[in-house]
Amino acid sequence: MLLYSRERFVELTMKVGPLVNEMQRNDPTVIPSAVNWLIEVERVYTQLRNPAAAAVAVERGKILAALAGVAPSPPGGHSRSSRKNATFVAFKAVEETNGALRGQIADADRRIEAAKEKMVQLVAVASAKVPIPLPPSEPRDAWLDGVWKAMNTVAEVSGMCRYLGASLTSLDRRQILDDVLTQMIEAMG
């Protein structure tokens, strides 16, 4: 789920550039586009059971309040039309939400890198005790599951296997194991 979440967050951040381009062109659709983007971010967060969904809903509410003319004026004290104020609020909402997404991506990257380091250690120790068979061309899932099962039988790494098994979903664990083994095979060949 960690790798999937990261990819979803990256997809969402890739949509910020076009939103900013709309703002730069003073495109009249920028506010609905920003609201739709926030709805999409909120939906992804909700699907991932991430409590940040509530913060995104609040940002979306700020835009709607600005459109209704009930939001405070922007800093600087000069008054703007409700449309200009809503555009400003939309930009700030996109900025805040994008920053939160980038933070989630950075956190996922740190966690993935830590898991990869542990997986490298686990494979190095386990492969000294139990040889790892060469991979089939496709599909690799059964082979990866077999390698994981074999490594679980090595007493020296059983604690690390339990840790990785508990801290990663089976899909994340399989993907990280695949990445590590692929790098090792390429380094040898």
51-69, pLDDT tens digit by residue? 999 999 999 999 999 888 8
Clarify whether residues 47 and 69 are in a common domain: yes
Count of alpha carbons within 13 Å of 65, Cβ hemisphere only?
A: 12
Clarify whether residues 76 and 14 are in a common domain: yes
Clarify whether residues 102 and 120 are in a common domain: no
Clarify whether residues 27 and 85 are in a common domain: yes
Clarify whether residues 120 and 167 are in a common domain: yes
Clarify whether residues 93 and 18 are in a common domain: yes
Distance in angstroms (rounded) separating the CA atoms of residues 40 and 189: 44
Clarify whether residues 49 and 98 are in a common domain: yes
Phi and psi of 29, rounded to 5°? -90, 5
Clarify whether residues 124 and 102 are in a common domain: no
pLDDT for res 92: 94
Q: What token pair was written down for 35?
A: 């609201």
pLDDT for res 176: 96
135 pLDDT more than 90: no
Which of 109, 143, 173 is at the close of a domain? 109
106 pLDDT more than 80: yes
What mean pLDDT, rounded, does the chain reach?
Answer: 91
Clarify whether residues 72 and 156 are in a common domain: no
Clarify whether residues 46 and 137 are in a common domain: no
Instruction: Please give the residue that has the higher pLDDT: either 92 or 72.
Output: 92
% residues pLDDT > 90 (the chain): 74
Which of 45, 74, 109 is at the close of a domain? 109
Residue 188: which pLDDT band, with cuts at 50, 70 and 90?
confident
- What integer is the mean pLDDT of 91-108? 96
Tokens 């209704």 -> residue: 68
Clarify whether residues 9 and 46 are in a common domain: yes
pLDDT for res 138: 79
- What integer is the mean pLDDT of 90-100? 96
- The domain tally of the chain equals 2
Handedness of CA 85, 86, 92, 96 (dihedral sign): positive
Nearest to 7 by CA among 53, 46, 48, 36: 48
Clarify whether residues 104 and 153 are in a common domain: no
Angstrom distances, CA of residue 170 to CA of 122, 144, 173, 184: 16, 11, 5, 21
The predicted-structure confidence for 75-92, as pLDDT tens digits, reads as follows: 665 566 778 888 899 999
pLDDT for res 81: 75
- Domain extent, residue 31, equals 2-109
pLDDT for res 134: 81
pTM summary value: 0.84
Which of 109, 128, 153 is at the close of a domain? 109
